[in-house]
Amino acid sequence: MSKFQDEVAYSDEPNLQTNETPGFHDVTLGVDGGGGRTNYTDKHAENNTKKWYKKPVIWGSAALCLVLIGVVGTVVALAGGGGSSTLKVGVQLPGPDLNDAATATNREIFSSVLMTRYNAKGMDWSPVSEPESFQARALEFISGSVLFSELSESQNVERYAAIVFYLSTFRQPHLLNAVAEAWTRSDGWSSNQNLCSWEGVQCDANDKVVSLILSDNKLSGTVPVELGLFDDFAKLDFSSNVIYMDNTNHMVWNHLPNLQELVMDDNYVLSETGIPSEFGSLTSIEKISLSFNLLQGTFDTAVFSSMPTLIHFEAESNYIRGALPESLLQMPNLTYLYVRRNSLAMPLTEILVPGYLPSLFALWLDGNDITGDIPAEIGQFTALASLSVTEAGLTGPLPAEMGLLTDLQRLWLYNNDLTGPISAEISQSWTKLEVFEVYGNQFVGIMPSTICTAVQTSEYAFATLTADCQEIQCELDTCCTRCY
């Protein structure tokens, strides 16, 4: 029995990113990687590739252009004496509530507290003593606040960490975003309100910060290491922003051992090892979602070895090459694996290996060089409900062992070189089937009535059955929902 027996809540697809050309079978991801269903599209004919502005040639050239634009704009602004054309960078914090003497006393006390915290976590303390650094400005803000004496040491440290994050990501230009904008939503930030009431901040019952949810909010700059000062930090969602992260600032991930969910789709996260090697320190991580970024190179095989709790891994529309490492495929709890539209290359027989991915529920490999026949071993993945390997180079027939996938609900195999008839015996057990798309192959014969009935009677709002109806008999409307 599938653990997702409640099919009304079932959905397996990753996020349809803002500004992406809609296509194929994208819908909005649910809370657990399984719930909710919106934004569906089946525009098969539309291009569904990486965002044009994140292609290496484009962003490499754009980086130089943006730097030049930023320099010229700054010169123009300065020459104009400011005014409305002045380029704005950063954010101005409120002045101190306390007088100079009280602020100085608090600064001395809090500096000592911070030094202890930084050292205990193995973090670099030196930026705090650099004039006008984000850390120094945050220290001054906390020291001059009327709340300093009212709050506990830990509460002041968390407010400090939040302010460093605010300064680091509010209107901060970078190599690929020379003119940054203000946050879209910043209610409460840098105010005297309870930290837990600030926009996007989520706390536990003890008012300890556990999450930052600031998707689609025009965050820029980089994520600072000070997030590591949140002792119980478990979730961040910074998707659909313009954050820039490269090898010089991935060290923040070394200090988040309690992080369970990391969602940063559609930013400018760079790595030359598939995902940053620093992710190896995320020993409690359950979900990683990094689609529509600038991940490159081959996977660091060691990084997944320290993630025994990983359930959901998503890195679609990047530039990752090579094969999926054994350390990823051997994960006991990995349930959702989405790596469409990269440059991966390996036969399907090296992925669907007995003993690999024992919890597999959804596997999406579209647009990679996934070659060879569908192996008979696929029948051992009995929890598999969603399989998508389109435009990949698969060959041969559908093996009889696919009939063992009794929980199969959605299957996309279009635009490959699959051959032969679609056996009625295989599909007899596919009573839960909602989507079956196999056009652009070399199938012949008759579409099994069991598939027609399953899809046509499905309560799924976007039930789909497509095929090359001139090659395989599939009556439109009574069986196929669309013919090619």
pLDDT confidence bin for 175, thresholds 50/70/90: confident
pLDDT at 337 over 90: yes
* Residues 241/218, Cβ–Cβ less than 8 Å: yes
Q: How far apart are CA 95 and CA 302, in angstroms?
A: 47
Mean pLDDT along residues 152-166? 98
Long-range contacts of 422-426 (CB under 8 A, 24+ apart): 422/398, 422/447, 422/448, 422/451, 422/472, 423/398, 423/448, 424/448, 424/449, 424/450, 425/400, 426/398, 426/400, 426/402
Helix 134-143 / helix 100-120 crossing angle, nearest 10 deg: 130
pLDDT at 85 over 90: no
39 vs 417, residue with greater confidence: 417
Copy the structure tokens of residue 79: 């020459």
pLDDT confidence bin for 247, thresholds 50/70/90: very high
Mean pLDDT along residues 211-231? 98
pLDDT at 76 over 80: no
Least confident of 40-49, 267-276, 279-288, 474-483: 40-49
pLDDT at 77 over 90: no
Looking at residue 203, its pLDDT comes to 98
65 vs 339, residue with greater confidence: 339
Looking at residue 30, its pLDDT comes to 32
Looking at residue 177, its pLDDT comes to 87
pLDDT at 270 over 70: yes
pLDDT at 44 over 60: no
Mean pLDDT along residues 58-70? 50
Query: What is the average pLDDT value for the chain, to the nearest integer?
Result: 86
Neighbours of 408 (CB within 10 A): 26
* DSSP 8-state code for residue 229: G
- Tokens 């990084």: give the residue: 303
Mean pLDDT along residues 31-37? 29
Looking at residue 8, its pLDDT comes to 32
pLDDT at 480 over 90: yes
pLDDT confidence bin for 341, thresholds 50/70/90: very high
* Residues 248/272, Cβ–Cβ less than 8 Å: no
Looking at residue 22, its pLDDT comes to 28
Percentage of the chain modeled with pLDDT above 70:
82
Sheet holding 268-271, edge to edge: 244-245, 268-271, 294-298, 319-322, 343-347, 369-373, 394-396, 417-421, 442-446, 472-473
* DSSP 8-state code for residue 177: B
Copy the structure tokens of residue 333: 């709890």
pLDDT at 27 over 50: no
* Residues 378/405, Cβ–Cβ less than 8 Å: yes
pLDDT in tens, 369-388: 999 999 999 999 999 999 99
462 vs 38, residue with greater confidence: 462
Percentage of the chain modeled with pLDDT above 90:
80
Mean pLDDT along residues 318-325? 98
pLDDT at 78 over 80: no
pLDDT in tens, 285-300: 999 999 999 999 999 9
Copy the structure tokens of residue 269: 């996260």
Looking at residue 14, its pLDDT comes to 47
Least confident of 78-82, 131-135, 178-182: 78-82
Looking at residue 111, its pLDDT comes to 97
Looking at residue 88, its pLDDT comes to 82
Mean pLDDT along residues 29-52? 36
Mean pLDDT along residues 112-128? 96
